[in-house]
Structure 1
């Protein structure tokens, strides 16, 4: 099986594709908002944000490369086929038509259009905007092999030019000094941990598990055939894109912190970014921001629609890729018209549930060669992570769920018996205990097997 040697140009194209797929709606507005929340502690909070916003997605791509998995189902299969199917469906739904993909349309609309139309006109304008947005998304994602040209070669350069313009003005004419910005109460003591949890909102760790399918497809299209070569190419390309993303994140967080000198803490990063752009360039600045947000969110929407359709078509081949793509774009269009606030409110509990499971899965996959991919290690770790993950989801759910009596009683037990529960990290200790039990079981079985072999 021959493999074509790739040039630096190929790595840049694949890295650009990954950057475009990762950097979307949340990646643009959440860092800005984090900077305003953290104030003078922006760098500490940024460090936590980079762990879940950049390092964890990079590890997700590496996990797929190490295990030679074709996607999220293969990666989770050591835990069990039913679990792998359920985890894949939940992740695809979260990144697809339930939350992430609709958000790619509502975020740029909120940033660039909503403030210029009346409240009564907003639903109609959102309907028209989202219809055009997802029509383009469906067209661009109709053929998986076209994703490199669509994202890597066309949209990313335009986005980077617009972003560089905003950064140039912000760094040469800063709105204020970040060191003197007052942090909110939550970020006065726990800036790093809060930044870590804010990174969940990007959904990039989940996206990394899903995008592995698109990465493998694109690399094979360039002539790579051997699994080891594909894995190496994916790891190198993802490092390139994630490094660029990390630099942009820190710049956005810093800009958010400096903006407190002229603006009050905003309700969300979209409003803050719009105010900042207006401060630098007036209405033309807001227009540039609207174009930039639309471009970056469109690239992510194409990546999400492609990966969603690829993953579910591979698992359920009787349904065509085109049908899954239509379902993704059509459902995303409908849910987008519910509005950004409702999408974020209901996506948070799902992220608090899925992220601990994704983090442990990524760590287990990378370390799997050390314990020979033994399912017992996967299952113990996942089983003890699952319960606190459910509790985290209930804690962050909308009030109609979180404030019910039975949920409050469960959360009181969670706070009493699980460390770091109030910080949203109550899963960490149980996951570690599960890992130690699984590894111990693996070592005992390996020792017994070796002893039996020696006796015979």
Structure 2
């Protein structure tokens, strides 16, 4: 550890920053700021916990358990559960939500504001077709041109963002105090901000792609598990701290924007408005170009990881087949529009995140109970119950208005502690964890007693 130069901490920190931060991550903190209004500070704390701290903890869980990814991390629960959870996470990060979002975010930010409403649908269709055509072409041919361009233009995107932040603080749109907070942010700003952080999907991404960071650390000559975890924690703090600063500035900017604009339909629209306000037409052109390239490189990383992982798990199906499937489905779902994608992704994330958080905590604390699968299983079984009800509670209106959904929400609201604020899973997970620990220590005592008698 002493031989490792300090610059390597910044090297791995920048890798972590690049893995977690993309143009899409901006739309949620800005929109959060608009929703929270004067309570943006409390909302920001919650958002940073789920959008910054959890992703870092997910990397630590991968390191501490010496896992190669989600499957290995969840395998103590059961191989079947691990496979199902792997598929659900990759489907969420892949063709269902995150990958389609890489096309809809730059369209909403850079192009939609300049297209008449009646042409929005055809505009998105053409844009997303070109977008995923480029993603497929360079991914299937393993050509690094787009990634090379991205390495040049992605920093330019951060520079542009910094300029907007700087101008906003030099010439603010107005005070955030007194700004109206939307429903859910008047008395529960922090918890609502925490739940909004789910939309970044970064904790799931950390579980799925964390092995990339671990491999990079091992390439530096750091092999021991403890040294790897310590190095990861130090470099991770550097990477996520920068993300946290950008999130804080974005949330504040969103709250301040209420002086000039109404709460937008999504954060992409809000960012476009702010860019135009401070940089004019030049800002519009830059935002459209840089956001597109940034999201192209993100999309390529997602589709390649999806195809490689699933080809590894199901070798009879080719890499190209998985790649084609991902790009095609992502293209179709992208044409539902950014707001629709966010609406339908929310219930899925409300189901997956409690399971992911409990798995992260189990991974980090597993050395304390010898990685005993009883603790893993009991915690997960208990967490599953409220996670299902959380998903139902966040169904889109077309499903939430059904008799079954209403009855389920009424039942959970009456009997699950903290369910009304989106944290019904905490007491269940804790109960399962404690029962699992009791089973572990009883089994260990029985084993010790049997060994003494023998």
TM range (shorter): over 0.9
Separation in structure 2 between the aligned mates of residue 61 and residue 143 of structure 1, nearest angstrom: 30
Give the corresponding residue for 1:431.
Answer: 429
- Tell me what 2:160 maps to: 162
Q: Verify: 1:68 aligned to 2:30, yes or no.
A: no
> 1:430-449 residue pairs with structure 2 within 5 A?
430-449=428-447
Aligned to 2:106: 108
Question: What residue is the counterpart of 2:381 in the other structure?
Answer: 383
Going from structure 1 to structure 2, the CA distance change for 1:394 and 1:185 (only over 3 Å counts) comes to closer
Q: In the alignment, what sits opposite 1:290?
A: 288
- 1:21-420 equivalences under 5 Å are 21-139=19-137, 141-142=139-140, 150=148, 153-216=151-214, 218=216, 222=219, 224=221, 226=223, 228=225, 234-420=232-418
Give the drift of 1:26.
4.0
| Shift of residue 127, structure 1, vs aligned partner | 2.5
- The whole-number CA distance in structure 1 between the counterparts of 2:263 and 2:50 is 24
Deviation at 1:454, TM superposition (A): 2.0
351 and 150 in structure 1: CA distance in 2 versus 1, 3 angstrom threshold: farther
Kept after mapping to 2: 8 A contact 1:19/1:245: yes
SS of structure 2 residue aligned to 1:397: coil
Q: CA deviation at 1:236?
A: 4.2
Inter-CA distance 35–133: structure 2 relative to 1 (3 Å threshold):
same
1:37-81 CA-partner distances (Å, limit 9, x unpaired): 111211111000001100000000111011111111111000000
- How big is the shift at 1:422? 1.3
> 5+ residue gaps in structure 1?
none
Task: Quote the Cα distance in structure 1 between the aligned partners of 2:224 and 2:130.
Answer: 39
Cα 1:389–1:36 change in 2 (3 A) is same
Structure 1 stretch displaced more, 363-372 or 316-325: 316-325
Change beyond 3 A, Cα 1:278–1:297: same
Q: Which segment is superposed worse, 402-411 or 439-448?
A: 402-411
Q: Are the structure 2 counterparts of residues 151 and 282 from structure 1 closer, same or farther at C-alpha, using a change threshold of 3 Å? A: closer
Measure, in 2, the Cα distance between the counterparts of 1:305 and 1:6: 34
After superposition, what is the alpha-carbon deviation per residue over 1:265-316, rounded to whole angstroms, capped at 9, x for unaligned? 2222122212212221222222233234324323332332232223223322
Q: Distance in 2 between matches of 1:343 and 1:143?
A: 29
Change over 3 Å in CA distance of 1:163–1:372 after alignment to 2: same
Gaps of 5+ in 2: none
- Give the distance between the partners of 1:190 and 1:143, measured in 2 at CA: 49
> Aligned equivalents of 2:286 and 2:293: distance in 1?
11
Q: 1:148 to 1:216 in 2, by over 3 A?
A: farther
Q: Distance in 2 between matches of 1:386 and 1:84?
A: 14
* Mapped contact 2:176–2:256 kept (Cα < 8 A): yes
- Per-residue CA distance 1:197-234 (angstroms, 9 max, x = gap): 110111111111111243345556x4658463665554
Give me the whole-angstrom Cα distance separating, in 1, the residues matched to 2:245 and 2:295: 19
State the Cα deviation string for residues 3-36 of structure 1 (Å, max 9, x = none).
9x76555554443343233223541111011111
1:38 & 1:309 partners in 2: Cα distance? Answer: 39
CA contact (8 A) 2:47 2:193 kept: yes
Residue 90 of structure 2 aligns to a residue whose secondary structure is helix
1:150/1:214 Cα in 2 relative to 1: closer, same or farther (>3 Å)? farther
Q: CA contact under 8 A between 1:21 and 1:303: conserved in structure 2?
A: no
- CA distance in 1: counterparts of 2:19 and 2:138, whole angstroms: 13
Tell me whether 243-252 or 128-137 shows the greater mean CA deviation.
128-137
Greater CA deviation, 18-27 or 199-208? 18-27
Paired with 2:52 and 2:243, the residues of 1 have a C-alpha distance of: 7
- Residues 153 and 290 of structure 2 are in contact (CA less than 8 Å); yes or no, is this contact kept in structure 1? no
- TM-score w.r.t. length of structure 2: 0.92
Change (3 A) 1:407 1:147: farther
Cα 1:148–1:124, aligned 2, differ >3 Å: closer, same or farther?
closer
Output the aligned Cα RMSD.
2.6
Per-residue deviation at 1:411? 1.3
Measured after TM superposition, the shift of residue 173 of structure 1 is 1.0
Contact 1:210 1:308 in 2 (8 A): no
Give the secondary structure class of the aligned counterpart of 1:452. Answer: helix
Paired with 1:184 and 1:252, the residues of 2 have a C-alpha distance of 18
